[in-house]
Amino acid sequence: MTTPGMLPKTQARAYAPASVANVAVGFDLLGYPVVGAGDTVTVRRIDAPEVRIVSISGTDVPLPTEAARNTAGAALMAMRDALDLLFGFEIEIEKGIPLSSGMGGSAASCVAALVAANELLREPLSRDALYRFSLEGEAVASGSRHGDNLGPMFMGGLVLSTLERVVKLSVPAAWHSLLVHPDAVLETRRARDALKGDYPLRDFVAQSAHLALVLAGCQRGDPELVREGLRDVLIEPRRAPLIVGFDAAKRAALDAGAMGASISGAGPSVFAWYETRAEAEAAAPRVTAAFAQAGFGSQSWISPIDSPGAVVL
Amino acid sequence: MTTPGMLPKTQARAYAPASVANVAVGFDLLGYPVVGAGDTVTVRRIDAPEVRIVSISGTDVPLPTEAARNTAGAALMAMRDALDLLFGFEIEIEKGIPLSSGMGGSAASCVAALVAANELLREPLSRDALYRFSLEGEAVASGSRHGDNLGPMFMGGLVLSTLERVVKLSVPAAWHSLLVHPDAVLETRRARDALKGDYPLRDFVAQSAHLALVLAGCQRGDPELVREGLRDVLIEPRRAPLIVGFDAAKRAALDAGAMGASISGAGPSVFAWYETRAEAEAAAPRVTAAFAQAGFGSQSWISPIDSPGAVVL
């Protein structure tokens, strides 16, 4: 039962940051937000029992405006259905994250829409509860349910996102991420196609060891464990050939002292972890120079790995 | 350079406990010791520059007495070579762990031999250093290098063992393991053959999520995370059919309130985790009854997951 007069607001706006997902060792599971890039979504309550996308700005590329085919739209449809809401939503999306960049753009629109819509509910939900609806939205964009971009946007910091729940993990406050986005696009679906086929058990054992080392290293603040673990033997070898300049960019990041470096999300962006902000800052021009050598301009962002998630504006 | 007169001892004895390896989510990587079953090894320094097995007691099954084919012998040969020792070792092995039980028997002989031999060195090594030699010994027994039984025997407690290092993990002191060994054998090589072939990525992702949940749950003492994570979707489905009575035993363990239950090592032993010793004690007769129903007598051991490793006697 929802009575308009008892609702706190009829319109809300929220911002969700970009994020680095997969994080070398947590394919479809691990991620963290990035400071400085994000999507902003305005949601209005409407009497019509439906979800409408009224505008998408900040991008030249046409995105689906049919609600069921848009990440933000599909997520709010899932919310309406689950909560039996009598009213609908109207959505305005301002893209601030480059499309098909591996920076979680579709997830950010979806999370910002849910966080904004949550403000319009008489009994707002926890972010854990919103996470479930966001999985529906993300599935529309990527063709599969996985929350590695979504969890960090809801919770902030390094987050494990399974299909059932999100778990925020400890990570030292001083550790910083460098994210570099070359001016190239790599479609998520194409990046996923590169992963088709089966995998040998030995690669999985090696990758599991790396995952455990990274989790233990983050929890203890032991960079040696992370240096040993932050290496992707499973996914990166199959996707790296799709990214022109990747090898040189990764090499530059590691030569600048990174604990590890790999592909952000489905790529083509590259991330690297450093023990201090100063190291990440010194590394940035070296990594962008590597992409320049390969013929691509690029943008970079430096943020603590333990960065904030989405906020209501 | 080793001068006999400067050596502290000419004989030493050590005990290494049995262990539960794999632990559902850490195939070839995770393990912990078990209180109440173990191998004892006596090592004597000899002038001859060689390693000899002089006796193996406590078992009716013939084990290799040629040093290079015996886990304890191969490990001490690796130690001699790496340290350029001028003297040799003579080894007496007293088996206290049932053979081919999935309780780490070959690893225990290997670890006990190294811990004893270490007492005979002028400059004893750290357990991390000994771990490397033990990987050589274990390879002789199982045909592959993996340290999931070895690391816990050296360090005690829940341990991550990669090919490069051992990392002791936190786990609540109150949490207990029930280990039940049916009177049946399952050869390690046969159990490994069941794993041949490739694996779909989705199973890896699910298993990685479970591993991360268990590690986070152990570190925080959050049984709900462990309940969600302590499930093997990768290895157990392929090995369980080799173990008569496994399904019923696992069901009994879970019905008694286990956070999770699976195969210990390569099987046929079964382990389960409980939040208290009392729960594990109440579960034991139910699990042994399940094996009895399948026609097997069985033995059980209850110990804290955070149990001690090998000791010099």
pLDDT tens-digit series, residues A37-46: 999 999 999 9
Label residue A7 by pLDDT band (50, 70, 90).
low
User: What average pLDDT does the structure give for chain A?
Assistant: 95
pLDDT for position A184: 85
Q: Report DSSP letters for A138-201, one per residue.
A: HHHHHSS---TTHHHHHH-SSEEE-SS-EEE----TT-EEEEEEES----HHHHHHTT-SEE-H
**CB pair distance less than 8 Å for B198 and A195:** no
Strands A51-57 and B30-46: unpaired
CA A109 – CA A308 distance, rounded (Å): 16
**Burial class of residue B170, CB neighbours in 10 A (0-12, 13-18, 19+):** middle
Among B135, B205, B228, the strongest candidate for a mutation testing the A interface, having the largest count of A CBs within 10 A, is B205
**CB pair distance less than 8 Å for A212 and B207:** no
Among A165, A171, A205, the strongest candidate for a mutation testing the B interface, having the largest count of B CBs within 10 A, is A205
Question: Nearest CA to CA, how far is A178 from chain B (Å)?
Answer: 24
Q: Select the residue of B199, B212, B234 nearest A29 (Cβ to Cβ).
A: B212
Helices (H), B84-182: 105-118, 127-142, 150-155
Tokens of B253: 């363990």
Contact (Cβ atoms closer than 8 angstroms) between residue B98 and residue B181: yes
Q: Which residues of B touch A234 (CB under 8 A)?
A: 201, 204
Region B183-192: mean pLDDT is 82
Coil/strand/helix, residue A300: strand
Sorted by sequence, the CB contacts under 8 Å of residue A193 that are 6+ apart come out as none
CA A259 – CA A77 distance, rounded (Å): 41
pLDDT for position B281: 98
Region B29-37: mean pLDDT is 98
Region B165-192: mean pLDDT is 92
**CB pair distance less than 8 Å for B204 and A234:** yes
CA B132 – CA A62 distance, rounded (Å): 57
pLDDT exceeds cutoff 70 at B4: no
**CB pair distance less than 8 Å for A205 and B27:** yes
Longest CA pairwise span in chain A (Å): 60
Sorted by sequence, the CB contacts under 8 Å of residue A265 that are 6+ apart come out as A19, A20, A21, A22, A101, A102, A103, A104, A148, A149, A188
The H or E element that residue B32 is part of is: strand B30-46
CA A42 – CA A19 distance, rounded (Å): 20
Question: Nearest CA to CA, how far is A148 from chain B (Å)?
Answer: 11
Torsion of CA A223, A225, A227, A230, to 10 degrees: -120
Q: Select the residue of A164, A167, A209 nearest B216 (Cβ to Cβ).
A: A167
Tokens of A28: 């479809």
Q: Which residues of A touch B198 (CB under 8 A)?
A: 197-201
Label residue A92 by pLDDT band (50, 70, 90).
very high
Interface of B with A (CB under 8 A): 26-30, 146, 160, 162-165, 167, 169, 195, 197-201, 204-205, 207-209, 211-213, 215-216, 219, 225, 228, 234
CA B245 – CA B252 distance, rounded (Å): 11
pLDDT for position B143: 78
User: What average pLDDT does the structure give for chain B?
Assistant: 95
Residue of A nearest to B235 (CA): A201
Q: Which residues of A touch B167 (CB under 8 A)?
A: 212-213, 216, 225
CA A309 – CA A154 distance, rounded (Å): 5
Label residue A149 by pLDDT band (50, 70, 90).
very high
Count Cα neighbours of B284 within 13 Å in the Cβ-side half-sphere.
17
State the helix-helix crossing angle for B71-83 and B127-142, rounded to 10 degrees: 130
Q: How crowded is residue A196: how many other Cβ atoms within 10 Å of its Cβ?
A: 8
CA B46 – CA B10 distance, rounded (Å): 8
Domains and CATH numbers, chain A: 4-168 (3.30.230.10), 176-304 (3.30.70.890)
Tokens of A12: 């809300």
**CB pair distance less than 8 Å for A215 and B212:** yes
State the helix-helix crossing angle for B201-220 and A201-220, rounded to 10 degrees: 30
pLDDT for position B60: 86
> Which range (A280-294, B18-32, B133-147) has the least confidence?
B133-147
**CB pair distance less than 8 Å for A198 and B195:** no
pLDDT for position A145: 84
Label residue B104 by pLDDT band (50, 70, 90).
very high
Short-list A310, A287, A312, A106, CA closest to A189: A106
**CB pair distance less than 8 Å for A205 and B29:** yes
CA B118 – CA A83 distance, rounded (Å): 66
Tokens of A167: 């778990």
Helix-, strand-, coil-residue percentages of chain B, each rounded to 5: 40, 25, 35
Q: How crowded is residue A200: how many other Cβ atoms within 10 Å of its Cβ?
A: 12
Q: Which residues of A touch B164 (CB under 8 A)?
A: 228
Sorted by sequence, the CB contacts under 8 Å of residue A81 that are 6+ apart come out as none
Interface of A with B (CB under 8 A): 26-30, 146, 160, 162-165, 167, 169, 195, 197-201, 204-205, 207-209, 211-213, 215-216, 219, 225, 228, 234
Instruction: State residue A53 phi and psi, 5-degree precision.
Output: -95, 115
| Termini Cα distance of chain B | 27
Helices and strands: H and E segment counts in chain A:
10, 12
CA A25 – CA B305 distance, rounded (Å): 26
Short-list B176, B178, B163, B155, CA closest to B310: B155
Sorted by sequence, the CB contacts under 8 Å of residue B115 that are 6+ apart come out as B14, B16, B127, B130, B154, B310, B311, B312
Contact (Cβ atoms closer than 8 angstroms) between residue A32 and residue A155: no
CA A246 – CA A259 distance, rounded (Å): 17
DSSP-assigned letter for residue A289:
H
**CB pair distance less than 8 Å for A200 and B205:** no
Region A66-86: mean pLDDT is 96
Q: How confident is the model over B40-88, as pLDDT tens digits?
A: 999 999 999 999 999 999 998 888 899 999 999 999 999 999 999 999 9
**CB pair distance less than 8 Å for A216 and B213:** no
Torsion of CA A17, A22, A25, A27, to 10 degrees: 150
ipTM above 0.85, yes or no: yes
Region A225-247: mean pLDDT is 97
Question: Nearest CA to CA, how far is B222 from chain A (Å)?
Answer: 11
Q: How confident is the model over B261-302, as pLDDT tens digits?
A: 999 999 999 999 999 999 999 999 999 999 999 999 999 999
CA B133 – CA A17 distance, rounded (Å): 48
Instruction: Give how far Cα B122 sits from Cα of B1, B119, B130, Å.
Output: 10, 8, 15
Contact (Cβ atoms closer than 8 angstroms) between residue A202 and residue B205: no
pLDDT exceeds cutoff 50 at B2: no
CA B4 – CA B247 distance, rounded (Å): 56
pLDDT for position A188: 73
Instruction: Give how far Cα B114 sits from Cα of B5, B66, B117, Å.
Output: 21, 17, 5
